Amino acid sequence: MGVANAEQLSAGLIHAGFATFIQPIYCFAWEAHADGNEIAKYLALLPEQYIVPGSSAMTTFDEHVFKASFEKLAVDSRTHTLIAFGQVSNDTWVHSVRAATSRPIVVLGLMRDVLAHRVQLFYSDDSRRQMAERSSSTFVKAMMHSWMQSDEYPRDAQLEYMYGLNATLRDLPIDDVWKARNASAIASGVDQGGTTSTASVYLGPVGDSQNVRRSLCVFAHSTSLPIPWMRYETATETSSSFVPSTYVANVDEDIVAAMLAREPREFYYVARALDTFEAFAEEYGCLEEPTEMALLPPKRDHAQ
């Protein structure tokens, strides 16, 4: 079977929830403002044999620990799926894991509604938040408009992790990007010259940062990892996942229109990703009241 056909087959297995047959390394990487810590806390509760050394629930992935331990502990020879996780400011550690393994790499994502994401990001700057909190609504709206037109504004913020894995995606129509992430590897295991072989990289399921328990449930069933998602109580939803109503109150139709004009790619992609997440949640029974199917153990490979 050719590399392209093999990658298409692997992508099909990943998106159908049967990646256990190819025993990948899942990588859950998130930026500091993306609320990934709450997900990672439960990934860290997995039995040790599933976790790639260097993983961290609260800080960046430790590449020094990874490089010192991965071969020494024969991590790659374990006969089951693995997962690596940690904060990231770029995709460096994902590439480091990729370079050390022959397994497929599957990147798990975490997204949220673009408007909520940007409002939270706007207020995450302490000086900007303090000024906004003592200013009129009219002035805050002007601040937001100014921020959106500045170089500081992060366009395609929730898509940057994909661009870091394959820079050519930045120039593709966003519908083609969506189709590509579902059809094959996002970064092929063979370079353009066909001479160098490395691990192929795929984009896996995306979670919703505003629904942690459902995301954990979807990740558990789609990866076949025994993630203890049932330990999560909805009452403990992290406050950082939600945008206070007082912040949203300063957003008017003009701001939404301006944001949509600047972010059509991200609005499209996030809408498709979260719709797919909801479809996975329904399929696996990961609902507000989990079904019997959700409560069944995930499909498992031959972990010891």
Q: Please report the pLDDT score of residue 135 as a whole number.
A: 92
Q: Please report the pLDDT score of residue 302 as a whole number.
A: 46
Q: Please report the pLDDT score of residue 173 as a whole number.
A: 96
Render the burial of 64-78: b for 16+ CB within 10 Å, e for the rest.
eebeeebeeeebeeb
Judge contact between 187 and 11, C-beta under 8 A: no
Structure confidence by residue, pLDDT tens digits, 192-217: 455 556 789 999 999 998 899 999 99
Q: Please report the pLDDT score of residue 249 as a whole number.
A: 80
Q: Please report the pLDDT score of residue 20 as a whole number.
A: 78
Structure confidence by residue, pLDDT tens digits, 57-96: 988 899 999 999 999 999 999 999 999 999 876 667 899 9
Q: Please report the pLDDT score of residue 130 as a whole number.
A: 93
Q: Please report the pLDDT score of residue 71 as a whole number.
A: 92
Q: Please report the pLDDT score of residue 53 as a whole number.
A: 96
Which structure tokens are listed for 120? 């939270």
Task: Indicate if the alpha-carbon torsion angle 112, 116, 122, 127 is positive or negative.
Answer: negative
Q: Please report the pLDDT score of residue 304 as a whole number.
A: 44
Residues of the chain with pLDDT under 70: 1-3, 32-33, 89-91, 190-197, 234-243, 299-304
User: Is the pTM here over 0.75, yes or no?
Assistant: yes
Judge contact between 166 and 187, C-beta under 8 A: yes
- The Cα–Cα gap between 208 and 165 comes to 21
